[in-house]
Amino acid sequence: MKNFSKWTCGLLLAAGLVLPVIGGCEGRVRVYDEYHHDYHHWDHREDRAYRFYYSDRHAEYRDYNSLSKNEQAAYWNWRHAHPDAGHS
């Protein structure tokens, strides 16, 4: 029973150290918009806006990284015209 208690404490300590690091990474991904010369934080709000962009066009969702430069530029043009998209 003593080993189980040490193992449980070790597991809880490890989780306490790892979880803030994982949760703290959200929003740290920055995407450079070369046409508007600015950076955007890709967080849950940007992901929501990006998904809205596709649903608004009745198009099948595609991963941002798979888009051509022209398609990425079209998204950022739309995004700059809709700054509140993704916020709720």
Q: How far is CA 48 from the centre of its chain?
A: 9
pLDDT for 5:
62
Q: From the CB of residue 50, how many other CB atoms can be counted at a distance below 10 Å?
A: 19
For the chain, the domain total comes to: 1
Any domain includes 87: no
**Is the residue at 46 inside a domain?**
yes
Give mean pLDDT in consecutive 10-residue pieces for the chain, a chain of 88 residues. Answer: 58 50 62 92 94 93 95 95 81
Q: How far apart are CA 74 and CA 50, in angstroms?
A: 11
Is residue 86 a part of any domain in this protein?
Answer: no
pTM over 0.75: no
Is 33 part of a structural domain of the chain? yes
Write the pLDDT tens digit of every residue in 50-71: 999 999 999 999 999 999 999 9
Residue 71 CB neighbours (<10 A): 11
- The dihedrals phi and psi of 23, each to the nearest 5 degrees, come to -65, -30
Q: Tell me, yes or no, whether 25 lies in a domain.
A: yes
Look up the domain containing 35 and give its range. Answer: 2-81
Whether residue 28 lies inside any domain: the answer is yes
